Structure 1
Amino acid sequence: MSVHRHPSCGCCGGWVEHMRHAGFSVRVNNVQDVMAPKQRLGVPASQASCHTTEVGGYVVEGHVPASDILKLLRDKPRARGLVLPGMPLGSPGMEAPDGSAQAYTVQLLGLDGSLRDFSHHPARTGKPQPTR
């Protein structure tokens, strides 16, 4: 997998580590213009996040969990890839210290630019952290 990201983005580094932990071989391409890979790969501006990935002939935009990418590569749908716009709290690389997460939906980006739900990730309530 090849990840295009800005060198100063810390959450992208967390996502890369999530991918490596899931068994992916990751090549990081630090770029100043993060929009160029998105445009080249057909990611709609409305679906943009902080990093863009190429894997197995697909594009993956944003903090998509490894389990969704593995399902994409296993099922091989006729599509451009997966998108998760923004940076949802609790998604890989955007983990909260208390484990809380907002609900988010990863979408399948069709060859024609259409979007349809691919996977849903529920909200989680964090555990209170002990005070010192």
Structure 2
Amino acid sequence: MKRNKAFSLLEILIGLAIIGLIASIAHPMWKNTQNKSNYEVSRIQLTEVAKAMEKHYLEKGKYPVFSDWGQLSATETPLLEYTTKVPKQDPWGREYRIIESAEDKYQFEALGVPGKETEYPDFSYSDGLKFKEKGKTS
């Protein structure tokens, strides 16, 4: 009698179950790493904007005034003299916020990781390059 060399249905189901188990363990780890990376990118981007604001202040004696983030990140923004790129959005596709913008002060805010605000909270930069995380005093 000849025997076929093939996988049985049970062997295929066991293989799929093992792959599913590995994926269910790996996905949350990958997602957490991606969130941490995006949060750091967000901090770096907002830091660069705050540094550009400070350079503008040192050179001109006042901060540029913006009504919203779209105006700040526009192609004709005066900050492009001091930085190579002004981001339009954070890594999750949300606009950064302008809390305050005047010739003598500013405050910009970025949102934390969606659903992980306690681990990665909202943060802001204000005049003098002051960094603050939401819920923490400095």
Q: Compute the TM-score of the two structures, normalised by the length of structure 2.
A: 0.24
* Higher percent of residues as helix: 2
* Higher percent of residues as strand: 1
Q: Compute the TM-score of the two structures, normalised by the length of structure 1.
A: 0.25
The structure with more radius of gyration: 2
